[in-house]
């Protein structure tokens, strides 16, 4: 019998609280034994709401605890690379949220450190790889059901937040493409068989949040990416949808196409009456991907316990960052950019 994986979490913000609750209450074969946050209320939340035994203000102090086997990093993106490296050096498995880092050099530093610790799991949270619908689509593509896939059209669109959470988030997020489209970029590479990206073009606009311009960011962005084998991808990201969260992806092949997630329906009820035909919508990314977040955490725990191998690699995360950066350069330059 393997013992439970003992996990410490860093970051208890918007997503960190969700991951912490999943680790404390929903994921088998693990225990949430430690938490780290510079914010007093977040540390109190860990102690009082989740009963976490060891709570730290300082990340290095948490890593020094020999009773922790693994860490989950849900911290600002600008900290991911250094915190992942420190965890590996402390002998801990790591699940780090996406994107791995905001520049290629930092990604490469993480990959180089991971090579020195082959017994440790280092995984990046590309949650859509664990979503049942995307898994279904990937299995169909791999089986040749749509012939040769050559085009992916994928979007991540959030409901407008009038308070503009993401405007405050902009200085550390890397911008809309690194923050949102990085998921679509990883999906496109996964569905197309990991081709090498060669060139990117992007444009965008600020429809509702002009304050983003100060950070060189937009609230609606569009990008085209070319791959070496002739495959193409088209991405759209938005912070300003009126109706809800709508992540959808179309994978087009020579013998058919697959469509995942169109219209963001939150259940299977369609109401028809004098006002028209309509259904309720998913309100945010967590509602859309709750099951996938659970499966992702289970896969991480199973990998750390040596029960299951991961197909998602750090190289995939590096390539997603490389492509996201070329798209962001193109947004700023207005010209196509080499990847």
Residues that bind ligand NAD (CB under 6 A): 10-16, 36-39, 42, 59, 74-77, 79, 97-98, 125, 127, 179, 285
Least distance to ligand NAD from the beta carbon of 78, Å?
9
Choice between 222 and 292, CB closer to ligand NAD: 292
Choice between 106 and 179, CB closer to ligand NAD: 179
C-alpha–C-alpha distance, residues 292 and 300, integer Å: 12
Least distance to ligand NAD from the beta carbon of 285, Å?
5
- Interstrand relation of 30-36 and 54-56 (parallel, antiparallel or unpaired): parallel
Residue whose beta carbon is closest to ligand NAD: 13
Least distance to ligand NAD from the beta carbon of 225, Å?
20
Choice between 97 and 113, CB closer to ligand NAD: 97
Map residue 320 onto helix, strand or coil.
helix
Alpha helices in the chain (DSSP H): 16-21, 40-50, 59-63, 80-89, 104-115, 132-142, 165-173, 176, 182-192, 285-304, 314-333
Choice between 4 and 172, CB closer to ligand NAD: 172
For 269, half-sphere exposure in the C-beta direction (CA atoms, 13 angstrom radius) is 6
- Interstrand relation of 337-338 and 197-205 (parallel, antiparallel or unpaired): antiparallel
Least distance to ligand NAD from the beta carbon of 73, Å?
8
Choice between 60 and 213, CB closer to ligand NAD: 60
Least distance to ligand NAD from the beta carbon of 59, Å?
5
Alpha helices in 182-313 (DSSP H): 182-192, 285-304
Choice between 126 and 150, CB closer to ligand NAD: 126
Least distance to ligand NAD from the beta carbon of 84, Å?
12
Least distance to ligand NAD from the beta carbon of 87, Å?
12
Q: How many Cβ atoms are within 10 Å of 335's Cβ, its own excluded?
A: 9
Choice between 129 and 201, CB closer to ligand NAD: 129
Burial tier of 230 (Cβ tally within 10 Å: 0-12, 13-18, 19+): exposed
Write the DSSP string, 22-58. Answer: IIIII-TTEEEEEEE-S-HHHHHHHHHHH--SEEES-
């Amino acid at each position: 019998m393997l013992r439970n994986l003992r996990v410490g979490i860093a970051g208890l913000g918007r997503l960190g609280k969700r991951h912490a609750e999943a680790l404390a209450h929903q994921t088998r074969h693990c225990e949430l034994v430690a938490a780290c946050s510079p914010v007093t209320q977040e540390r109190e939340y860990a102690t009082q709401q989740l009963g976490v035994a060891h709570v730290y203000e300082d990340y290095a102090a948490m890593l020094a605890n020999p009773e922790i086997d693994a860490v989950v990093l849900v911290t600002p993106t600008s900290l991911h690379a250094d915190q992942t490296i420190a965890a590996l050096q402390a002998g801990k498995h790591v699940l780090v949220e996406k994107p791995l880092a905001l520049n290629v050099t930092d990604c490469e530093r993480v990959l180089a450190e991971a090579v020195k610790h082959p017994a440790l799991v280092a995984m990046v949270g590309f949650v859509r790889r664990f979503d049942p619908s995307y898994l279904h689509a990937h299995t169909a593509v791999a089986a040749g059901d749509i012939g040769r896939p050559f085009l992916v059209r994928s979007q991540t669109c959030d409901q407008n937040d009038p308070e503009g959470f993401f405007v405050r988030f902009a200085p550390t997020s890397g911008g809309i493409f690194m923050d949102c489209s990085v998921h679509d970029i990883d999906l496109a590479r996964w569905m197309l068989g990991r081709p090498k990206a060669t060139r990117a073009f992007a444009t965008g606009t600020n429809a509702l949040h002009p304050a983003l311009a100060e950070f060189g960011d937009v609230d609606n962005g569009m990008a085209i990416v070319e791959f070496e084998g002739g495959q193409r991808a088209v991405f759209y990201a938005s912070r300003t949808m009126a109706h809800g969260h709508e992540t959808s992806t179309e994978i087009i092949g020579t013998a058919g196409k697959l469509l995942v997630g169109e219209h963001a329906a939150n259940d299977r009820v369609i109401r028809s009456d004098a006002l028209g035909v309509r259904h309720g919508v998913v309100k945010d990314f967590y509602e859309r991907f709750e099951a996938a977040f659970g499966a992702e955490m289970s896969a991480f725990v199973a990998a750390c316990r040596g029960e299951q191998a991961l197909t998602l690699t750090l190289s995939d995360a590096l390539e997603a960052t490389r492509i996201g950066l070329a798209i962001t350069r193109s947004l700023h330059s207005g010209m196509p950019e080499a990847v």
